[in-house]
Amino acid sequence: METKATWTTSDGRTAEVTVTLITSKALDADGDKITVPCCEMEITATVNGEQVGYGYPQAINHPVAVAMIGKLGISKANMVKVEAAIDEIKATPEWQAKTAREEQNRKDEIEYDKHYAKMRKIMTE
């Protein structure tokens, strides 16, 4: 799945932020090509078709731009479009399942750490 936020810069160039949901990857496993499931978000910024950055927007302190992706400065109005594209990807069932798995993993880790500490305490007494 792919969503885009597009606008025209003050000097007339076309800026575009593309947010892509990647659900599988092709990997090289010692010469064998295998496809593995994954759930990743890829964010790329282009100006006139040339890639100028990638990754989540980074907040900056600037009079006009509120965030940047690589070399692309993003105004407050355009940041709303970028956030909407990111939120659209986060609303997919695949991303929701990933978030639920991560939350369950955190809970399991906390439970394990508590048990580990309890057993460590018992064993040292």
Q: Provide the percentage of residues in the chain whose pLDDT is more than 70.
A: 100
27 within some domain: yes
- CA distance linking residue 33 with residue 117, whole number of Å: 43
The tally of domains found in the chain comes to 1
pLDDT digits (tens, 9 = 90+) for 43-70: 999 999 999 999 999 999 999 899 999 9
pLDDT digits (tens, 9 = 90+) for 63-111: 989 999 999 999 999 999 999 999 999 999 999 999 999 999 999 999 9
111 within some domain: no
Domain span including residue 14: 2-91
55 within some domain: yes
pTM of the model: 0.83
Q: How confident is the model at residue 125 (pLDDT cuts 50, 70, 90)?
A: confident
Q: Are 26 and 34 in contact (CB under 8 A)?
A: yes
Give 31's DSSP letter. Answer: T
* Residues 6 or more apart in contact with residue 21 via CB below 8 angstroms: 1, 2, 39, 40, 41, 89, 92, 94, 95
Give 89's DSSP letter. Answer: H
What is the reported pLDDT for 111? Answer: 97
